[in-house]
Amino acid sequence: MRLIFLGPPGAGKGTQARTLAGEQGIPQIATGDMLREAAARGTRLGLEAKSYMNRGALVPDDVVVGLVAERLDAPDAQKGFILDGFPRTLAQAEALERLLKDRELAVERVIYFEVSEQELLRRLTGRRMCRQCEHPYHVEFSPPKRAGRCDRCGGELYQREDDSEAAVRRRLEVHAAQTAPLLEYYRSRGLLTAIRGEGSPQEIGSAIRRAAGGNTAA
């Protein structure tokens, strides 16, 4: 299974990628999570990335493409993967196509999550993340069992700096300008399936499994 999860900030890509990747025994390759980990470790790349991320801008293509290229060569990615939040620009999509071609691989399906702007704002402003394992929670829709603590690893929950209302608005603009053109890119290649990203996580998960099984209605 080689999938791309595409969608605006807060669409539920991370939530769904985590579940499906866990079930399938393949990695969730989430560039946002990888960049946040690098920033938390204080590496040069991480600190540079943080300045873009905190203001809701995209990190330069070459940085992100380099990270993904390395990750795709890891042993656990050989059976398949779910790319969550990558690619996000046409240049990244073209770079990915080349990376996979060099490895005699191809993406099987691109799932686009359709969610209204009002719902995205509600999800992002109420989101809390585990500092240790990056598992997403929501204060209203999926609260942890113990306030402020991750159910899975006991890590501390925090609010992402780019989940402030100003950064969220900027991220939505960036998505419309730079990432939305990928819909046509993948539609023209017959790879795109749009799913309704609103409803219970279980309903959305079922729609994704149907789409990954070959339904191309987009």
Which parts of 12-41 interact with Mg ion (CB under 5 A)? 14
Distance CA 195, CA 125 (A): 23
Strand, helix or coil for residue 3: strand
Secondary structure class of 218 (helix, strand, coil): coil
Q: Is the dihedral of CA 176, 174, 5, 161 positive or negative?
A: negative
To the nearest whole angstrom, how small is the minimum distance from the Cβ of residue 10 to ligand AP5?
Answer: 4
3-state helix, strand, coil in the chain (%, to 5): 50, 15, 35
Separation between Cα atoms, residue 199 and residue 73, nearest integer Å: 35
Question: Applying CB under 6 A, does 185 fall inside the site for ligand AP5?
Answer: no
Q: Which is nearer to Mg ion, 144 or 215 (CB)?
A: 144
By rule CB under 6 A, what string of x and - marks binding of each residue 3-22 to ligand AP5?
----x-xxxxxxx-------
Q: Tell me how far apart the alpha carbons of residues 4 and 17 are, in angstroms, rounded to a whole number.
A: 9
Question: Which of Mg ion, ligand AP5, none lies near 9, with the C-beta cut-off 5 to 8 A by kind?
Answer: ligand AP5
Stretch that binds ligand AP5, among 39-47, 97-105, 130-138, 187-195 (CB under 6 A): 130-138
* Cβ closest to ligand AP5, residue 31 vs residue 214: 31
Q: Cβ 128 to Mg ion, closest distance in Å?
A: 13
Would you name the residues annotated as active-site residues? 13, 88, 127, 160, 171
Query: In Å, what is the CA distance from 132 to each residue of 35, 67, 101, 159?
Result: 14, 20, 34, 13
What is the rounded CA–CA span in Å between residue 66 and residue 195?
30
27 binds, among Mg ion, ligand AP5, none (CB under 5 to 8 A by kind): none
Per CB under 6 A, residues contacting ligand AP5 are 7, 9-15, 31-32, 35, 52-53, 56-59, 64, 85-86, 88, 92, 123, 127, 136-138, 141-142, 162, 171, 201, 204
Interacting residues with Mg ion (CB under 5 A): 14
